[in-house]
Amino acid sequence: MNSCPQCQSPLTPAQAFCTRCGTQVKKVCFVCQAASDMESQFCGRCGTALGEGHVPPMQCAQCGARVHVGHAYCPECGTKRMPSCASCGALLSPQWSYCPMCGRLLGESELAYAAVGRAAENEAIALNDRGVELLEEENYEEAIEAFQRAIALAPDESLYHYNLGVAYEGLGMDGEAFESYRRAVKLDAHNASAYLALGHLYDARGQREEAEKCWHAVIGLAPDSDEAAEAKELLAGKAEE
């Protein structure tokens, strides 16, 4: 791993500035966001001239859409943004003193926001855990409230949407459960449990082709799991009909 020539802190290949002392170590192309050596005059990826002060536009970490500095959520996929630099919009870690993309000294408000983000994440985890306990007690109404509160704090967490779907199903709210499962697999294409549940609801709607796609996805994602065993039984049963 490379290190900062000024303070010797470790650097990742994508860093343009040291997060500890703010030293610029690479130039960043404002068109394609590729990082280049400081001696480079042109971007090695797209050929754009590399001038001083070029920083990449903000992008959603989930879908890559452009996100305005003032936006808390991505306008395309709804993903909650991590704390970001007020100057260039780069995502930040609370341990950093300088932005790794534009070299800006981070202010107290940005660092405080990062701390708030960690607290919100911890609260979301606690709410989800409480929701699971309520599911086990078959207290579906309060479980729904707990999962909804968790999602409000961490809207891009697939597990919370899946659990919300389970709670909706417990109350017979299949339409709401269907949308929750769809959101869960959109956020995490490896959520086998959500695919299995979504397949059941597609099947209940008479959409067998879509149901079978979901069950095949379960088998592909986790072939040795209990979910895969159930999916295989469901597919075998449909084949016999």
Q: Tell me the average pLDDT across 88-108.
A: 67
115-154 pLDDT, tens digit per residue, is: 555 666 788 899 999 999 999 999 999 999 999 998 888 8
Domain spans in the chain, listed from the N-terminal domain onward: 118-240
What's the pLDDT score for residue 142? 95
Mean pLDDT over all residues of the chain? 79
The CA distance from 232 to 229, in Å, is 5
Residue 84: is its pLDDT beyond 60?
yes
The CA distance from 63 to 81, in Å, is 12
> Which fold, 118-240?
1.25.40
Query: Do the beta carbons of residue 231 and residue 218 sit within 8 Å?
Result: yes
Q: Tell me the average pLDDT across 83-108.
A: 66
Is the pTM higher than 0.75? no
The continuous run of DSSP H or E covering 215 comes out as helix 208-221
Residue 76: is its pLDDT beyond 70?
yes
What torsion do the CA atoms of 168, 172, 173, 177 make, to the nearest 10 degrees?
Answer: 50
Residue 69: is its pLDDT beyond 50?
no
Residue 50: is its pLDDT beyond 70?
no
The continuous run of DSSP H or E covering 26 comes out as strand 26-28
In this prediction, what percent of the chain has a pLDDT beyond 90? 40
Residue 57: is its pLDDT beyond 50?
no
What's the pLDDT score for residue 21? 77
CB atoms within 10 A of CB 192: 22
- Which residue from 18, 102, 126 is spatially nearest to 52, judged by alpha carbons? 102
Residue 45: is its pLDDT beyond 60?
yes
Query: Do the beta carbons of residue 147 and residue 167 sit within 8 Å?
Result: yes
